[in-house]
Structure 1
């Protein structure tokens, strides 16, 4: 059951009083190589210890602290402890570079930074030496080796002992009682697909509004459920979902290394999971690759199962209609056999509610997932809207949409450019220290400008069309929607990543990072036997392999208008990565960075 609170500062103690011995957190212990449990009593004590230590160092209401770490329970102790002291939390992605860290430390004027592992500590210490206002670094992982010259940093276990006194506990309790919904809670710096980061200032009232509405309209939560947190808890999607789980008493398995999610899922078998489309694209491609090499009889069985699943789940179950008896029997058979086997291999057999957002999900992949009874819930939201603006109802959703607008929010479409405009209690307070940008982000009558083009049905079903800033205008005056083209071409499992180019050019081109193993197999099958011994760099430069890849793209883009079709490609030997600054944490392309990094290759496609 959800607890009723007016401020997150109340949450840990209220839950501990109600259910002290119930598990709320699971985490992987690297020493024993086992998953360990933390109950509400221990969790509340961890939050209180962090809050007391923050009281000891004199954290003032409104003062900023940073959390720069992969997902760890220490992040929650620190964040909720700061909330109890009316502090403001600035979450940073664990992959943030020293330059990104320096900007956020300086812009937010934080004096205390909590870091997770060696990578984050090294960057933080470097920034501390260069930027004097960062007074202290607190390190979560005690295996981190501190710099011999570092005389101020402490491990988290040392830090929390600073607060071991009754006066500090009293300070925390007084501060928690004085906390009000209009207190600032978070400054989330947008990773941004272009331009400088902006600090999105969210209030506790924004968070509490979302918790209230979600608990009223999401039917799946509570101690019997288990959610896995593998997306960064520094991102508003996972952060808001984690707070929802804590509010409702839903257990959370915290995954420290997101790259190990496929390994962890069969161990955890979550019933709930936030996710991004890229994960589901990988699942879909993996299934297709497996079926492509399967015997003909198995392929036929799979096709029949998918046809039955799609008809039963989308034409009947989703519409609230009773399916014909024969169809119901066929579906029951395939669900018990093929679909259950698929989900068991993935670790998703207990799945009940998988929110999916962060980027558009193709209709083809959505239909596949719905057909095999993987319960994804497509939604839409931004940091500035405290995550959710719309999401699928459990039944009656429309494929291709982003679900229905959340109750209490007012959404309209700008008639001039189709921009989605949102007003309501979940909308950010401001862009931190950017008054002009804040004013520009709202219409004169108070609607937030999302920057996304969309449309809306009379029943409140919302559709995403394109990022307005991502729209390309070719030299011929035609508008191109690159995300739509990329989504269409990426359905082919041979394409791992693709960035469509075309802004101000006379035609469309693309940078393509393929699945090189599949390329090698396809080339050998075409008679290019020497591909078996070629390096990736040699394959990328090989004219025959380039022609092979262009033929695959031409087949995939057959339904596009002539001016939308990719005319030339450049094959990449290396993928776009977070580390090179080419992707956001939700795997969206940073087009400006990609255009800079591959300027020479792009220029060659237009000579």
Structure 2
């Protein structure tokens, strides 16, 4: 396998694949999926690269991309690489203050933006900024501010490079591109403090491609992958790059809210995703099964039981299943499971990598039982995504998989921290020398901040070290583990466990109001508002019993003893969540301090 520098990857693929489809995207006006060939993909990148050169972008300059997923995002990414420039992605949901911080920290003079919201925020920042000089707008439907004299639409921008000098400049830069060039600076979400820019070089990505080729021979140019997570997220960025490296067709989902529809329309064979997506699938499927008439419900439950036995007790262990079980499983796989997967849009599914947060064993087991091929793993921005993931056969439920080839992992004996070393590991945080000293051991291992254990080559996740709570009774609790245990409940949308220096564990719970309001209607509970509904004694009893059911296998000191129901969700805009949807615990503790104190009042 040849590993091309990203400055030339797409152009090499265009030589190989020509008019074969590289990308698909949905035309909102018609609802049709339009195709972009490898040749067209290559041409667009070259046009954008020449425009960057003509625009004055120099080697090693930083270029910001503040946008939803769309083809232009990838054009800008790879055009930057062709110029040996550095791509600095920003989440499309980021606030003006967040992008202003990144722009200043990374010295971003040129910013590509997606839609109206991103343009409005970026222009607001530019007016006050002594760093940001120009904005390039992907979406031609965006209305520019009448006072804006510097911004330009992407379609007009790429025309600027239509000259021999720009073309010559780009070709020379591609030839001189080095694996040691800085490729991207990815800013961490900052759950506890200031966001940090993770520096990833082309060598990191090329090594990631190499070791994934070893572990994932299933990924071939016959596949179609749905690009759903933000391309700012290292998981999606690295996965999409792997797909392009392998010649996979990438279907780009622009609006996250449309994913259920676009999955059905595309029926991809692959897609990387976070556990929360599969939690919703789990809840939805169980609600559907519960709504079935008696005989059909029994059959569906038997199908799940059969799938569990076949996939987990035989196939996963490399054992041949009994003839009767095999026949029964094949029947259910072609009937109930097939209908289920077609409705979800995953009927062609061959590989669904899942990472970014803890995945409940209950949900993992269920999805394996209904023959949805999810593969659970673990990684960070600092490790170019994957540190470990479960094999498709022989995986250990409860683990975060087998460590990747040529990635070194060891456990710090003092606090069980997972330490990682290898060629996929970041060179450090941008302009943060003191942080770099704290983040690496003397022998070059990255401190992940996660506690775990290693059994042979199989890695297990315990908890974020900074998230560990110690109750006033001296007991240590892992809030993520508790949250993970209860979050699959159909009536719970979000949960934040409280307990540091408290007598017992408490929780702030955001209900799944669609399910809760349906329950209220069924039980004849009258209410004038959500605030009134969550105070109803019958509703509080419902949550108390649900929590008890999910915590029955926990030690007494780990169990949620009291809880508060919230009428509004945790959001990125409200700062309770990071852009990758992780809880910002300090923000939550401060914002809901009064409610928490009420909960702990004697």
User: Which residue in the other structure is 2:488 paired with?
Assistant: 491
1:477 aligns with 2:492: no
CA distance in structure 2 between the partners assigned to 1:491 and 1:167 by the alignment: 58
CA distance in structure 2 between the partners assigned to 1:65 and 1:518 by the alignment: 44
The Cα offsets for residues 106-160 of structure 1, whole Å up to 9 and x where unpaired, read as 1011100000000000010010011122110000001101000000000001111
Identify if the C-alpha distance between structure 1 residues 509 and 39 changes in structure 2 by more than 3 Å, giving closer, same or farther. Answer: same
Contact 1:190–1:383, Cα closer than 8 Å, also in 2: yes
User: Which residue in the other structure is 1:466 paired with?
Assistant: 463
User: Which residue in the other structure is 1:22 paired with?
Assistant: 20
Contact 2:267–2:347, Cα closer than 8 Å, also in 1: yes
Name the stretch that deviates more: 66-75 or 218-227.
218-227
Contact 2:59–2:83, Cα closer than 8 Å, also in 1: yes
CA distance in structure 1 between the partners assigned to 2:576 and 2:222 by the alignment: 39
The Cα offsets for residues 512-534 of structure 1, whole Å up to 9 and x where unpaired, read as 111234334444655xx3x2443
User: Which residue in the other structure is 2:547 paired with?
Assistant: 553
CA distance in structure 2 between the partners assigned to 1:154 and 1:107 by the alignment: 24
CA distance in structure 1 between the partners assigned to 2:504 and 2:547 by the alignment: 15
Deviation at 1:193, TM superposition (A): 1.9
Contact 1:378–1:391, Cα closer than 8 Å, also in 2: yes
User: Which residue in the other structure is 1:374 paired with?
Assistant: 372
CA distance in structure 2 between the partners assigned to 1:221 and 1:605 by the alignment: 50
User: Which residue in the other structure is 1:454 paired with?
Assistant: 452
User: Which residue in the other structure is 1:317 paired with?
Assistant: 315
CA distance in structure 1 between the partners assigned to 2:213 and 2:153 by the alignment: 36
TM-score when normalising by structure 2: 0.98
Select 2:516's aligned residue among 516, 519, 544.
519
TM-score when normalising by structure 1: 0.97
CA distance in structure 2 between the partners assigned to 1:521 and 1:31 by the alignment: 34
Q: How many residues align?
A: 601
The Cα offsets for residues 301-331 of structure 1, whole Å up to 9 and x where unpaired, read as 1221111111110111111211111111111
User: Which residue in the other structure is 1:240 paired with?
Assistant: 238
User: Which residue in the other structure is 1:160 paired with?
Assistant: 158
Name the stretch that deviates more: 275-284 or 301-310.
301-310
Contact 1:497–1:576, Cα closer than 8 Å, also in 2: yes
Deviation at 1:489, TM superposition (A): 1.2
CA distance in structure 2 between the partners assigned to 1:380 and 1:585 by the alignment: 18
Note the 1:317-356 alignment, pairs <5 A: 317-356=315-354
Contact 1:270–1:350, Cα closer than 8 Å, also in 2: yes
Name the stretch that deviates more: 206-215 or 558-567.
558-567
Q: Please give the root-mean-square deviation of Cα atoms over the aligned residues, in Å.
A: 1.3
- Matched residue of 1:433: which SS? coil
Contact 1:278–1:587, Cα closer than 8 Å, also in 2: no
User: Which residue in the other structure is 1:595 paired with?
Assistant: 589
Contact 2:378–2:385, Cα closer than 8 Å, also in 1: yes
User: Which residue in the other structure is 2:393 paired with?
Assistant: 395
User: Which residue in the other structure is 1:422 paired with?
Assistant: 420
Name the stretch that deviates more: 85-94 or 287-296.
287-296
The Cα offsets for residues 356-414 of structure 1, whole Å up to 9 and x where unpaired, read as 00011111110111111100011110000000001111211111111100001110111
| Stretches of structure 2 lacking an aligned partner (at least 5 in a row) | none
Contact 1:472–1:504, Cα closer than 8 Å, also in 2: yes
User: Which residue in the other structure is 1:363 paired with?
Assistant: 361
Contact 2:94–2:579, Cα closer than 8 Å, also in 1: no
Identify if the C-alpha distance between structure 1 residues 166 and 471 changes in structure 2 by more than 3 Å, giving closer, same or farther. Answer: same
- Matched residue of 1:605: which SS? helix
- Matched residue of 1:8: which SS? coil
Note the 1:101-180 alignment, pairs <5 A: 101-180=99-178
Deviation at 1:441, TM superposition (A): 0.5
- Matched residue of 1:110: which SS? coil
CA distance in structure 2 between the partners assigned to 1:487 and 1:130 by the alignment: 43
The Cα offsets for residues 180-218 of structure 1, whole Å up to 9 and x where unpaired, read as 000101100001322110000011000110011112321
Note the 1:222-301 alignment, pairs <5 A: 222-301=220-299
CA distance in structure 1 between the partners assigned to 2:186 and 2:268 by the alignment: 27
- Matched residue of 1:273: which SS? coil
CA distance in structure 1 between the partners assigned to 2:560 and 2:213 by the alignment: 45
CA distance in structure 1 between the partners assigned to 2:193 and 2:500 by the alignment: 16
- Matched residue of 1:487: which SS? helix
CA distance in structure 2 between the partners assigned to 1:188 and 1:471 by the alignment: 26
The Cα offsets for residues 412-464 of structure 1, whole Å up to 9 and x where unpaired, read as 11111111100000000110000010111011111100001111111x01111
User: Which residue in the other structure is 1:541 paired with?
Assistant: 535
Runs of 4+ in structure 1 displaced over 6 angstroms? Answer: none
CA distance in structure 1 between the partners assigned to 2:343 and 2:502 by the alignment: 46
- Matched residue of 1:74: which SS? helix
Contact 2:527–2:533, Cα closer than 8 Å, also in 1: no
